[in-house]
Structure 1
Amino acid sequence: MRHLTRNLLAAAGPLCLGLAACATATETHPNRTATEQLLVSRAVERAAAEFSMALPSKARVYLDASAFRGEGSDYAASAVREALLAQGNPIATSRADADVVVEVRLGALSIDKTQRVVGIPRLTVPVSSNFSTVTVPELSAYSRRDRTGVAEFSAFAYEAATGRPIALGARFSGTAKIRSHTMFMVFSWGDLEVRPDDASVEADQWWKLW
């Protein structure tokens, strides 16, 4: 029996050392998840699809995006350029080469999140006078989570040479939304994610409580 115990310990030693030597991969944690980024991208594309300004036919347009700032604004500015090309206006690389300047500014480009819970939502509770807290997990019979990407921007156009106004007060917006349901904190259904090849992320829900 002692010999068996020694043999088991001898075999277990190298195994434990091998397990202790295993490497752990580190994952990055960006400000937005891929799902949230795709929601914003879809909202931008829908806003850009509405872009339409009464510009001179085939006039070369310089897009002034200096006031178009924020996370994801480069993607949105590119979508506006594509919209200008789609309506037949070539893009000028500088003001000097342009017939018309279109200036765009950012109203909103972000995510709205809402959650409804039948039960007790996730809570952070203070436990001492030195501001220590404890997080109490959600205890619910049903919960619904909505995430909405929102994009809104406005634009105006003027002659590059004279500054004379051509179009004022144009506003464009788009949204993209996904919804998920959870029953008894275990069973989930609905649109749980947005895939890069999805043509649409708008949820067609077959069951709603609200």
Structure 2
Amino acid sequence: MILPYLRACLLPLPLLVLAAPLAAQQREEVKPEATTEGDDTAVEFFTGAEFQEIELNDGRKVEKFSIPVAAQVIAGRVRVTAQVPYMRVKAPGDVVVPSGPLGLPILVDPAGPPEVSTREGIGDVRVDAAYQLPIQGVNASLSGGVKLPTASTDKGLGTGKTDYRVGADLSKTVGAVTPFAGVSYTKVGDPAEYDLEDTLAGHAGAAVRLGRSASAHLG
């Protein structure tokens, strides 16, 4: 089942970017609105770091640190991104912390021990594709993606099932700041141990460019 929570605090660290900024997990990367049909194909690699602290409704806390590593191919208006995070989680043993927006949902494993433990390992692989719409002045895109169950279920780092997502994103760069917003629908896998529901979610925030190869994201 999904365990309710009272507070989720996301503290993004400055990103160390090799070729492009990395948005928060499960968000589309914010790109300038300059892609055209005639652009050559480009390949980019980037990474970042993210820390999350989540307080459950029973007062227990979950701490999650992740380092996603991603590769991106851009061909004209089409962008395909694949990423996999390395995760370190400190949480009660009966809490499962799968990859996803802000690391949620938080799930309860009836067979897991309640004692707090620290576990780490590879998270779920995500593959996303987006098409930039030919709209002048803004960066608007339609997207879809799949989450592949590569994270360890024994360590409580994933559900062991495949998820699918479709969405739409909108952003506009003004100087060094890029406000962004979007909506997505996720068809989640259905593990036998949990009662999960499909989700409709929205997000909004801003990306601030710190230099030629670094940026910070708030949202």
User: TM-score when scaled to structure 2?
Assistant: 0.24
Q: TM-score, length-normalised on structure 1?
A: 0.24
Question: Looking at CA atoms only, which structure, 1 or 2, has the larger radius of gyration?
Answer: 1
Answer 1 or 2: which has greater helix percent.
Answer: 1
Query: Relative contact order: is structure 1 or structure 2 higher (C-alpha 8 Å, sep ≥ 6)?
Result: 1
